[in-house]
Every structure is written in C-alpha cells, then in structure tokens.
Copies of this chain bind each other. A is one copy, B any other.
Amino acid sequence: MTITITAFERSPDGGKGLARDTRVRWALEEVARPYEVRLVSFRAMKEPAHLALHPFGQIPTYEEGDLVLFETGAIVLHIAERHAGLLPPDTDARARAIMWMFAAVNTMEPPILELVTVKILESDKPWSQARLPLVVDRIRNRLGQLSSRLGDDDWLDGTFSAGDLMMVSVLLRLRPSGILDEFPNLAAYVARGEARPGYKRAFDAQAAINA
C-alpha cells in the first residue's frame, strides 16, 4: 500500500529539517520504504479536511490504506514495528528503544520547545529577556542528565534505534542556540545521527521543497 505523509508547503524553518515530517521521512528512509508527500499550507492545516486527519491541525500525518495516523512518535513507532531496522529483536532492548522515543518527546522536547515560546511567541513581552535564562537552565539540566547517561556510547542503548532517531531529531532543535555544544558527547551523538545516509536523504527531500 502507498504511504502518503503530509508536510508544510513552506516550512517555518525554511528547510533546516526541523519540521516534524523530517522525522517520519528519516524513519522511512532507514527501513527503505518509498512514500509520497502531500504539501499543506498553513491555512489548509486548520480547515476541516486536514483536521479530519489531524485534530490538532499540524503536520505530519501518515496515510496507508485505511490507516490514518498523526503524532510523529506514533508514526515512527508504527513504521519501526512493521519493518526491520529501527527496533532491536530482543524484547527487553525493544522496550528500552521505545522508552527512549517517549523520553525524547515527553522529557527532552517540552523544555526545548519553551525556547520557541520565549524567543518567538513571547518575544514582544516585557519578561522575555528575563525569562530566557530560566528556560535555558531547564534545558541544560536535562541535557546534563542525558549526557551522563550517554557517556562515551555511540547510541542510547547499543545499536541505533527509533529511540535515537527521535532523540537526535529533538536535540537538533537546539543547534541554532549553541547550547548543544556545551555537551560535546551530545553534539557528537547528534552529528552521528545526521551522518546516517537515511537522515541525509530525508533532509535533502525536505530541503528541496523549501528551496
């Protein structure tokens, strides 16, 4: 069955790969599955046809036959469960890979996204500058904990998994801020993710749309 995902007609980041369709593209590249892309404008994302697919009016969505999914983590997990390459065969290791997927979106990403709140959504508020250091400290705290756990390892739990795919994707959001470079092992971890051929193909595909 044909897989169709949605992506921004024009990504807010101008093609830097931070829109969440890149995560899904990367997963599909890792398992070597072809896919089609339907581009959606900001206006269309809030209209009934798209809201029927994604109740929160975002991208990406994933359509495959009768199945419609939203939530990047769920889409990546669905792909990982159906095709070899993103989840280890050992049952316990598989559970830990899924654990890292949840850690990426539930523990690491929320404080990181607060940078967007303070720098963009609330940039015109009088408290914006004073709040920024608090937000950055919360991110540093999480990065320090993740850095301690990763140590000198290449990936979070043995071989590369969907957990690393999600975690690298979340950490990539920090590159423009420079905070990631305070944790050299995390910066190297992210660079290892970006060096994977599947990531490069995913990045190039989204960049081409936004060129």
Contact = CB atoms under 8 A, between A and B. Distances in A.
Interface in A16-31: none
A109 interface: yes
Interface in A65-110: 66-67, 69-75, 77-78, 92, 95-96, 98-99, 101-103, 105-107, 109-110
Nearest to A117: B114
- Chain A: interface residue count, which band? 35 or more
Contacts of A110: 109-110, 113
Number of copies: 2
A15 interface: no
A177 interface: no
B106 A109 contact: yes
Interface in A122-137: 122, 125-127, 130-131, 134
Interface string A50-78: 01000111000000001101111111011
Interface of A: 51, 55-57, 66-67, 69-75, 77-78, 92, 95-96, 98-99, 101-103, 105-107, 109-110, 113, 122, 125-127, 130-131, 134, 142, 145-146, 148-149
Given A56-B142, A125-B131, 6 more contacts: A70-B99, A70-B103, A74-B95, A74-B99, A109-B110, A127-B127
